[in-house]
Amino acid sequence: MNALQFLKKWLCGACVWFTAVSLTMLLIGIIFLPGMDYIASLSYLLFFPFALCMSAAGMLTEAQKLAKGLRSLLHYLITLVSFVLFLYLPSGVTATLPFLLFFFLLLSMIYWIVFGVLHMLRIRRGSTKHS
């Protein structure tokens, strides 16, 4: 893959992520915060760097040069760090250490459940292709 194809794939993936995150946050705002501004402008602008990170993390899982376990670990770390940097910290929520620990464990649990389900679906799809 040349640099232009890589850039196109990365930016297209980021646009998909940006749209998904924007719509999700707007829906959460409409449901839980009726009559208020749903997303502050700075927070909204930070959705795109988050989307770029998520797109890069997704592309990283396809990098055959890296071991599968390393790809999974790097994807997890990029996902968690980008969520904290671009979505959680700018929200201005102050929390105690026990809450932050609970939040980290909850995010990790959600990540690994979703990752596990997607992995199982890929295995099942792959096994049915060759039958």
| Run means of pLDDT, 10 residues per run, the chain, 131 residues | 92 96 86 72 86 95 87 92 88 82 90 88 70 38
Dist. CA 98–CA 12, nearest whole Å: 38
Instruction: Quote the CA–CA distance of 21 and 27 in Å, as a whole number.
Output: 10
pTM, two decimal places: 0.79
pLDDT at 130: 43
Q: What is the pLDDT of residue 38?
A: 62
CB contact at 8 A, 114 and 79: no
